[in-house]
Structure 1
Amino acid sequence: MSSDATRPQIAIAGRHLAKKFGHVQALSDASISVPSGTVVALFGDNGAGKSTFLKLLLGIHQADAGELIIGDKPVVLRSVRDAQRLGVDCVYQDLALAPDLSVVDNMFLGHELTRQGALGWAGFVDRKEMQERADDALRRLSIKLPSLTVAVQELSGGQKQAVAVARAVMWSKTAILMDEPTAALGARQSEIVCDLMRTVAASGLGVLVVSHDLPRVLKVADEVTILWRGKTALEARAADLTVPDVVATMVGYRADEAA
């Protein structure tokens, strides 16, 4: 059997990406590959280019050079909608949740289900179906909430993060990108979110996590990519790295030695 037949599909990847904003070279040669069913951590010091990289993978910005891959196929992304149509979604640092709306309404925001027949034409939403689908999505991720009809603002930080992850999983078919998912969370809530990463990957999606939470994310990741001054400085198995290894690469020691 060929190696191509046994290797996992590439959920999402960026190869040799470059991006310049005016006189600022944000990325010059950045690459990352996220296989399906895998958690990949993206580390880098402030200004390394992580945010720009994420925005290129989501179609928010377009690269000046390089190639994007989604589902093993080269793609061109002109907008976030393009990425979403290809099954890629993101859990943003600010979560992008509507605090006054219920859990169900947040999970279907922009994807509301309408009733059958004339009621649907009149704009009536099918709340029963939406609640059943939301409940199923949460159960599949082993997420327990006090109620699906409670306003999101009544939930804890970890519960809000879980809702944001579940919403992304509902509408993703290929990969989920997570931007600082444990920021501002306590230890227990952060562990819950990390458990969710593994659960999502186990469902077959590729998971890319951008984080400064090195010890916790290093434990949950399968692979690690580190950016340094807009370039990929290191790609390695997470099990082969320690936190000091990651920090040393982030601040440029290994990159300097390899130059």
Structure 2
Amino acid sequence: MQEQSTDIRPGEGRPSIAIGAQNLAKRFGHVQALSDASIAVRSGEVVALFGDNGAGKSTFLKMLLGIVRPDAGHVTIADEQVELNGVRDAQRRGVDCVYQDLAQAPDLTVVDNMFLGHELVRPGLGRLFGGLSRNEMRERADQALRDLSIKLPSLNRPVSDLSGGQKQAVAVAKAVMWSSTAVLMDEPTAALGARQSEIVCDLFRTVASKGLGVLVVSHDLPRVLKVADRVVVLWRGETVLDSAAAELTVPDVVATMVGYQKAAS
């Protein structure tokens, strides 16, 4: 049975639903990737999306970003039903994503990575010759990191010199810097050690405190459950649980996933 929370309270100047989806369905040939997937991430809220391999999490995330178009259902961003034709559409609406592979250029500096695809060009003649406003870029990158209480040894070091947790923190700070509505995170602790994972999970709450909706797709149930406000579970392309995180334990979540599997077998 699916539990749906309907008490939506708008934040100050913020949409009730930062990002959401209603009854999404998607088929790839003979494979029904999603059949009835719904979610609602409010502004200032951390929502954890759990599900076993093959549950449809990746397809669901791609639909929220406009990478894959649904066969049925619709996506909502900032309380508005939208049709997305790609990642740029989602970004223009204030939604960005921290991908599992981080999508970073290892040989570029922290600053250059945070502005990758968003480079600031100097005004006047500098624009004609492609000159970058490096001082402004560094100041803005530094401010974005400090806003999230992220401390790095240097912003001028290549990203390849950073630890796994620091690389993940830079990716989160970049997404937040260019987002105004919601940040999606795809397996953000997958390649991290215990301490680094704790630090990254703490960032979820910091990001949400900025008024953004935060959706975390993860297999790291214990850590993510501790920082989430709500939990949504997918099973074979269907939303089967939507509940307050405080009312759940890790065994509860696992039992939901395994229980549905046993019931179907």
Question: SS at the partner of 1:63?
Answer: coil
2:60 pairs with 1:47: no
TM-score (ref. length: structure 1): 0.95
Aligned to 2:224: 217
User: Contact conserved, 1:13 with 1:70, CA < 8 A, in 2?
Assistant: yes
Establish whether residue 245 from structure 1 lines up as the match of residue 265 from structure 2.
Answer: no
Q: Does 1:202 align with 2:209?
A: yes
C-alpha root-mean-square deviation of aligned residues, in Å? Answer: 1.6
CA distance in 2 between counterparts of 1:7 and 1:85 reads 22
> Quick one: distance in 2 between partners of 1:120 and 1:217?
44
Deviation at 1:256, TM superposition (A): 4.0
2:33 aligned counterpart, secondary structure: strand
Alignment of 1:107-146 (within 5 A): 107-146=114-153
1:175 maps onto 2:158 in alignment: no
Asked if 1:78 is matched to 2:75, the reply is: no
Deviations 1:56-81 (A, max 9, x none): 00000000000110000000001011
User: What is the total number of aligned residue pairs between the two structures?
Assistant: 255
Equivalent of 1:33 in 30, 33, 40: 40
Can you list the C-alpha shifts for 1:116-151, whole angstroms capped at 9, x where unaligned?
211122210010000000000000000000000000
CA positional deviation for 1:255: 9.1
* Structure 2: distance between partners of 1:37 and 1:66: 25
Counterpart for residue 3 of structure 2: none
- For the 8 Å contact 2:235–2:260, the answer to whether it is kept is no
Measure how far apart 1:5 and its partner are.
Answer: 8.7
Q: Which residue number corresponds to residue 194 of structure 2?
A: 187
Would you say 1:229 and 2:232 are equivalent positions? Answer: no
Per the alignment, in what secondary structure is the counterpart of residue 149 of structure 1? coil
Q: Using the alignment, how far apart are the partners of 1:219 and 1:49 within structure 2?
A: 23
In the alignment, residue 183 of structure 1 is paired with which amino acid?
A: A
Distance 1:245 1:28, change over 3 A: same
| Correspondence for 1:158 | 165
Q: 1:4 to 1:189 in 2, by over 3 A?
A: closer
State whether structure 2 residue 65 is matched by structure 1 residue 58: yes
The structural deviation recorded for 1:253 is: 3.8
Q: Deviations along 1:152-209, whole A, 9 cap, x unmatched?
A: 0000000000000000001001000000001110111001101110000000000000
Looking at structure 2, the residues matched to 255 and 64 of structure 1 have their Cα atoms a distance apart, in angstroms, of 28
Change (3 A) 1:5 1:185: closer
Q: SS of the residue aligned with 1:191?
A: helix
- Report the alpha carbon displacement of residue 4 of structure 1 after superposing the two structures with TM: 8.6
Instruction: Provide the rounded CA distance (Å) in 2 between the counterparts of 1:184 and 1:107.
Output: 20
Q: Which segments of 5 or more consecutive residues in structure 2 lack a partner in the other structure? A: 1-5
Residue of 21, 26, 29 corresponding to 2:28: 21
Residue in structure 2 matched with residue 87 of structure 1 by the alignment: 94
For residue 7 of structure 1, report the CA deviation from its aligned partner: 3.7
Aligned-partner Cα distance in 2 for 1:254–1:47: 12
Asked if 1:105 is matched to 2:80, the reply is no
The Cα shift of 1:252 comes to 3.3
Q: Distance in 2 between matches of 1:6 and 1:218?
A: 22
